[in-house]
């Protein structure tokens, strides 16, 4: 009788998969949270619309002299305000993007580790399936031999 050999059961000895985004967000400093909020706010249609309305009001009030002109044409004060806004907003957005890039690198590395674990487990599954295929082939051959020996004998009746 043939003794079928199967691989040993696979041992899952790796830590559980973790959500890198949750871990990363838990470690954010107040400044990092603030830069993300600024980037999220400035990069929205709501901000663009509100800023456009405020700038239009500024221009109309100063150009038509409806109220006392605090910034007559060519709106040098408005240019200064917008320049200051851009001077502070751009580096803050860059800080948020740098933090997001660091998050993406960590997430990519975690994906790589998960892929390595999956590859090991898939290899174990394929080895086990190959052993089952081999065992089934041997059982099939044994059944064919049994059928051949029974066909040669007279049937009891």
- What spatial distance separates the first Cα and last Cα of the chain, rounded to whole Å? 28
pLDDT > 90 in the chain, percent: 59
Quick one: which H or E segment has residue 75? none
Domain ranges of the chain: 28-151
Q: Provide the pLDDT for residue 24.
A: 85
- Residue 50 in tokens: 């509100």
Peptide bond connecting 74 to the previous residue in cis, omega within 30 degrees of 0: yes
Tally of CA atoms within 13 A in the half-sphere of 97 that contains its CB: 7
Which sign, positive or negative, has the C-alpha torsion 7, 8, 10, 14? negative
Confidence of residue 154 (pLDDT cuts 50, 70, 90): low
The average pLDDT across 16-24 equals 82
- Residue 133 in tokens: 């295929």
The C-alpha atoms of residue 135 and residue 148 are separated, in whole angstroms, by 20
The C-alpha atoms of residue 122 and residue 124 are separated, in whole angstroms, by 5
Q: Provide the pLDDT for residue 7.
A: 77
Helices 76-151, 45-63: axis angle to 10 degrees equals 170
Q: Provide the pLDDT for residue 156.
A: 58
Check if the beta carbon of residue 107 is closer than 8 Å to that of residue 21. Answer: yes
Check if the beta carbon of residue 19 is closer than 8 Å to that of residue 82. Answer: no
Q: Provide the pLDDT for residue 144.
A: 92
Selection from 53-57, 58-62, 71-75, 146-150 with the highest mean pLDDT = 53-57
Q: Provide the pLDDT for residue 1.
A: 56
Residue-wise pLDDT tens digits, 82-131: 999 999 999 999 999 999 999 999 999 999 999 999 999 999 999 999 99
Check if the beta carbon of residue 62 is closer than 8 Å to that of residue 71. Answer: yes
Helices 30-42, 45-63: axis angle to 10 degrees equals 70
Whole-model pTM: value is 0.66
Confidence of residue 2 (pLDDT cuts 50, 70, 90): low
């Amino acid at each position: 009788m043939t003794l079928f050999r199967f691989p040993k059961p696979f041992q899952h000895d790796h830590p559980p998969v973790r959500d890198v985004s949750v871990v990363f967000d838990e470690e954010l400093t107040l400044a990092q949270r603030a830069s993300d909020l600024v980037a999220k706010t400035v990069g929205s249609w709501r901000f663009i619309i509100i800023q456009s309305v405020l700038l239009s009001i500024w221009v109309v009030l100063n150009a038509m002299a409806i109220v006392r002109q605090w910034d007559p044409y060519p709106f040098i004060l408005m240019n200064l305000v917008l320049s200051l806004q851009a001077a502070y907003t751009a580096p803050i957005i860059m800080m948020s993007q740098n933090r997001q890039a660091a998050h993406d690198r960590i997430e990519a590395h975690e994906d790589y580790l998960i892929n390595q674990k999956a590859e090991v487990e898939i290899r174990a599954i394929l080895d086990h399936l190959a052993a089952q295929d081999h065992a089934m082939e041997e059982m099939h051959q044994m059944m064919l031999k049994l059928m051949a020996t029974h066909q040669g004998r007279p049937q009891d009746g």
